[in-house]
Structure 1
Amino acid sequence: MDCARLAEALSGARGKQEVFRRALAALEAEGIIRCGEAYGVGEGLKLYQMQGCRTTCPLVAHSRALAEEALQRGEKVVDGPFVALPIRQGEKTLAVLVLSLAEGQELPEALPALLLLALKRPGLELAGRLLWAQEEERRRVGRELHDGVGSLLTAALLTLKVAERRPEKLPEARARVAEALEEVRRLSQELRMPLLDDLGLDEALRRYLEGYRRHGLEVEARLQVPPLPKEKEVALFRVVQEALTNVLRHARAGRVKVELWPEGDRLFGLVEDDGVGFDPESTPPSVGLLGMQERIQGLGGSLVLRSAPGQGTRVEFGVPL
């Protein structure tokens, strides 16, 4: 692999998680690895996962044990096609990469040095990007309030003015106010997610999907969600919610599949539709997609979007439990 391309891929990374996400993506794109995971080293030399495999694969079953061994030994550990590579600064291990090498491939010798440089370079942490994503979400809600609720209330006000002279217009005015009230309730539910508060992620998603069935979509759901911390449930709900919103707005799909399932110490997810698809290479990433990526990365996982014109869209992600 041309190390200049790897250095370029790492140059714009902000924070540790993005450094490893970009490194793994670059190595996979070059055909050097099939997949990979990244672990940070916390207090007491405890490993915590920063990037997980987005799909089930043989690496998942061996990843943590190999990372622990590489951390203890302070050197590279090889087990068949799997390589655990510690990233060290002097005697201190900062992180461990666990990689599934493609057949006949070897890791670039400069990989540890490039990763160390990227990790030491000052930059904005992921929190800054999450704040940006949150600000974009506020702008979206503001636009919906202005364009949706505001327009309905303006129409209701105009109808009421007409009704001062023509009382037969009062039912129309009441109908417009009722529409505005329903829109406010919808936005409120999106923001508060009362189903999630009361029922947990599994049941909240099942009930949420009923709304998409009422829009005429054929929804296939396979949900096996173990108990999770509330903040993780919220993040995963938002990811599925955004993926489904994109299906409804853009995909012109007849069917959508939603899956969440645990495997080992990971939770994997999938949202797939049979819609018109698009070319991700020529389409700028939307705020919604960036928000999904940030939420999954914030949980130490990874997300990938696959699509092609006429072939639907598939969103896959995996996070540590």
Structure 2
Amino acid sequence: METKTAKLLDGKALAAKIQQELAAEITQLQPQIGRPPGLAVLMVGDNPASAAYVRGKERACAKVGIASFGKHFPTETTQAELEEAIHTLNQDERVDGILVQLPLPNHLDAVSLLHQIHPDKDADGLHPVNMGKLMRGEPGLRSCTPAGVMRLLQEYEIPLRGKQATVVGRSILVGKPLALMLLEADATVTVAHSRSQDLAAITKNADILIAAVGRPELISAQMVKPGAVVVDVGINRITDVGGNSRLVGDVNFDSVAGVAEFITPVPGGVGPMTVAMLLQNTFSTYLRVTKKV
């Protein structure tokens, strides 16, 4: 019998397409507006993974014509110094988006810093004002990873209306906002998490299954409804007995690909979409600000 393999939801290809579209729009608008869009990524300390993420974001900005106003602070930087830097960027008319790269050193309060960012410049879409707008179904900046998932589903014309969508994970970064976005698209939404009893019974009902828990290969083929759409938000580094490390998601890709109709790869699925939505948010603010001028 021929082994069935799920079709890939290619986030990398879609992110490249979005970047091309943004680059074309920015090239056209910049002469009229007199400046490019601007994004400021603030990083504290020397976390190598964070440094790699920040470099990736700045490269993506350069590719589409967004100016970077990033700042790299030493580990011992105080809360007050960072707040002052954010306030300065809030006032800077060249800057359309601000984000603080997480995680921060332990002595800093990330939530309090997030509250200092002006909601209109909240490129990550995580400010309580923007979360509230999502809750109410009002226009506003949307959290990048869940917005990226929704854009990927839209690109592949995956129907959501009336479908059973299950989100495994309830973080403020992904699980909660994604559940609200799916509700807004008329899906019937279940949110499961680490305390849910009989997780397999819950996930097996899902037409659209989204894993966002940060547990390597938690979702196996036995937990997936045949023909489901599986989106893997997880990104976990695992090391085998030989000491070789590789990235895996929250879904056991090889086994689930034999059951699902669509699946996202890790890497190359949701990750590139998160960066694409960050650029899109920065561009949206740029458009809005310039219309007021």
TM-score (norm 1): 0.28
More strand by share: 1
Q: Which has the larger radius of gyration?
A: 1
Q: Which has the higher contact order (CA 8 A, sep 6+)?
A: 2
More helix by share: 1
